[in-house]
Structure 1
Amino acid sequence: MTPPLAAPSVFGTVHLGYVVIETDRFTDWRRFGTDAIGMHHEDLDERRMRFRLDDQECRFLLVRGPAEDVVAVGWHVDDHTVFERIEARVRSHGVPIKHGTDEEAALRGVERLLRFPGPKGITQEIYTTPRIAGEPLNMLARGFVTGEAGMGHIALTSTKPAQVRGYFDTVFDARLSDYIDETISGVKLKIRFLRVNERHHTIAVASVRGLPLDPIPTRVQHLNIQVAHLDDLAQSYQRVCELGFDMALSVGQHTNDKELSYYARTPSGFEWEVGWNPVTVDESTWQPTTHHGISIWGHKPVGQTIVDKLDRFRVGALSLVRPEKTVPRLGGAGVPDD
């Protein structure tokens, strides 16, 4: 009897397209995104605003609300065939799907929007065609890297890292790029780096299993965007400091993807990494490895005091009464907890 054909992979046809952030701190976010990071800003109305990195209408949508966190992530898929393939996968696992309204699609600057639950309570959205803005870019940065690799990455902490990895494997055929073993404040962490295209990683998942609490109170630990020019990295770092925004980690270089970057703290509390020149993956030769330590040099904490650390411990303790949300049906039971 002929075995059934394996379902076609969607790897390489999926790209991080936009992020939705819920916040009540519009004034601070406007200054942070426009004056510090250097993105193009657009006010839609009193409850919604957007940032652009390139010719697409929306890369970051900010909506008024109390979460102070990322609430949705949008994935650009190459065509309608891929869109329907992913939709069928999610439906086949019994996970509820909701078609986005015309208004929701317009706010995101996309067509054919589909929404479904994701890890950490972050809604996952797929779409086919991003809309091109009619207005030229007006931003301090000379340019950001988007294109086939997508616009950057998201980083999560999880008490169930295998389920998170399994989720993105099931939905997007994500591949493991490598691991980093790191010890922070005496705590050993293993960070998994997952890719869905040539970008070294689009999702990073740090395991916090065994800790009495998840030290990160937000759903995301950080977001990353990539500048096209080294000067933009240096100048935005200077602007973040001069404008009085908190700098989480100084400029440094990562061990695994070799990206030069720094981490600022956003008005909502999670971190924002601005990076330059990471490696891209050659699928014909790449092999996952384990790196010891997250940085070759730099990435040192900036201006942290004992009071700051105690405050982070206090807000992190909230995770004890806020269990981590998962999507077990898409969690990939067969993925080992390596």
Structure 2
Amino acid sequence: MTTSTPTPSVFGAVHLGYLVIETDRFADWRRFGTDAIGMHHDTLDTDRMRFRLDDQECRFLLRRGPAEDVVAIGWHVDDHATFEQIEARIRTHGVPVTEGTAEEAALRGVERLVRFPGPKRIAQELYTTPVKATRPLRMHSAGFVTGASGMGHIALTSTKPAHIRGYFTTVFDARLTDYIDETISGAKLRIRFLRVNERHHSIAVAATRGLPVDPIRTRIQHLNVQVRELDDLAQSYQRVCELGFDMALSVGQHTNDKELSYYARTPSGFEWEVGWNPIVVDESTWQPATHQGISIWGHKPVGQTIVDKLDQFRRGARSLTRHEDVVPALSGTGIPDD
């Protein structure tokens, strides 16, 4: 009898690298990204611009279009062997992989990339070699934490959270870090936190318990960047308020990763979390746990009206009739979840 040899894990060799955002609100996004959050900005042409956090040439690519949403996620893998291993996994499951064009790679600040379908119609892109920028950073910040932890995290809402967990486990050997149970406006939520490296989580997946509704219009609920200094958190919070951008949640501290953060609302409608000093997972001792509530303190809604809450309920009701794409071939039906 022959037995198959399991493929080596790619955990730890994968890092959140960049995001592609489609928007028609370029002027607002430039003010938000540069003047409020404090990132380095580069205008490419009338239809494309980029933000930097570090010496990588692109961390956020904004292209003109109607989605007002994140449309692609770039994952940096450490070497060509890992790149080929992940690509082979995807093809083995019968999922198409396409080579990015030279222009697409240049816009994202990478040497080459491949693209494949992802949950919620967010394209997933792999690359190995980022292009280093020659121009010095111009930022209202002492710097952002990237490196081995990646550039931050994304958070999704889903009616099929086990499928999304299965997807990232199948593709990247993602590990479950922990859960949070929370009740918001009477709705019971369970949030799964998944890591692909030392960062506490690179993906969070929130779902409503007992009723398969998704009250969020956008494909992602929020994205996160991590500042190096506490002063940068406080000063960017002040800039967001003074410049007239909406604050979604005030400064607070999370129960699970202990990160201090706030959430601003982007010109496209999804939220942007600026955080400081989350814990780093020790793989030798870590055990998943369930935390009650997202915050130890703070993270209070800012400026939310009854109209806003009604809009959320309407969106949730509409989601009952909307198909959610989770790429079944990569969703790992045998992966346990609860």
Could you state the TM-score of these two structures normalised by the residue count of structure 2?
0.98
Matches within 5 A, 1:265-276: 265-276=265-276
Residue equivalent to 2:149? 149
Structure 2 CA distance for aligned equivalents of residues 53 and 315 of structure 1: 34
- Aligned residue for 1:179, secondary structure, equals strand
1:324, CA displacement in angstroms? 1.1
Distance 1:10 1:197 in 2: 9
Query: Which residue matches 1:87?
Result: 87
Supply the distance in 2 between the matched residues of 1:6 and 1:131 (Cα, whole angstroms): 33
Q: Partners in 2 of 1:133 and 1:294 — Cα distance?
A: 37
Q: What is residue 17 of structure 1 aligned with on the other side?
A: 17
Q: Are the equivalent residues in 2 in contact too, given 1:217–1:319 (CA < 8 A)?
A: no
Cα contact 2:38–2:139 (8 A) shared by 1: yes
One-letter code aligned to 1:40: H
Report the residue type matching 1:23 in the other structure: T
Q: Aligned residue for 1:127?
A: 127
Letter in 2 for 1:275: G
Q: CA–CA distance in 1 between the matches of 2:138 and 2:233?
A: 18
Q: Distance in 2 between matches of 1:89 and 1:2?
A: 21
Cα pair distance change 1:185/1:123, threshold 3 Å = same
The answer to whether the 8 Å contact 1:158/1:209 transfers is no
Query: Equivalent residues in 2 for 1:27-42 (5 A)?
Result: 27-42=27-42
**Which residue does 2:260 correspond to in 1?**
260
Residue 335 of structure 1 deviates from its aligned partner by 1.5
SS at match of 1:235: helix
Partner of 1:293: 293
Aligned: 1:101 with 2:113: no
Cα contact 2:207–2:214 (8 A) shared by 1: no
How many angstroms does 1:92 deviate by? 0.1
- Pick closer, same or farther for the CA change 1:176–1:73 going to 2, 3 Å: same
Percent of pairs with identical residues: 80
Q: What's the RMSD between the two structures over aligned residues?
A: 1.2
After TM superposition, the structure 1 = structure 2 runs for residues 1-338 of structure 1, keeping only pairs within 5 Å, are 1=1, 3-208=3-208, 210-211=210-211, 213-338=213-338
Gaps of 5+ in 1: none
CA-CA distance at 1:122 after TM superposition: 0.3
Residue by residue over 1:181-202, the C-alpha shift from the partner in whole angstroms, topping out at 9 and shown as x without a partner, is 1111111111000000000000
Once residues 298 and 143 of structure 2 are traced to their aligned partners in structure 1, the CA distance between those partners, rounded to angstroms, is: 24
Q: 2 CA distance for matches of 1:240 and 1:307?
A: 23
Alpha-carbon distance between aligned partners in 2 of 1:280 and 1:10, rounded to the nearest angstrom: 19
8 A Cα contact 2:152 2:224, kept in partner = yes
Q: Deviations over 1:33-72 (max 9, x none)?
A: 0000000001100110000000110000000000000000
- The range that moved more, 316-325 or 214-223, is 316-325
**1:126-179 residue CA offsets vs partner (Å, 9 max, x unmatched):** 001000001100011110000000000000011000100000000000000000
Query: Is the 8 Å Cα contact of residues 25 and 268 (structure 1) preserved in structure 2?
Result: yes
Counterpart of 1:117, as a letter, is: P
Q: Which runs of 5+ in 2 are unaligned?
A: none
Deviations 1:263-299 (A, max 9, x none): 0000000000000000000100000000011100000
* Structure 1 SS opposite 2:335: coil
Contact 1:15-1:75 at 8 Å conserved across structures: yes
How far apart are residue 213 of structure 1 and its match?
3.2
CA offsets 1:110-139 (integer angstroms, 9 cap, x no match): 022000000011000000100000110001
Partner amino acid for 1:114?
V
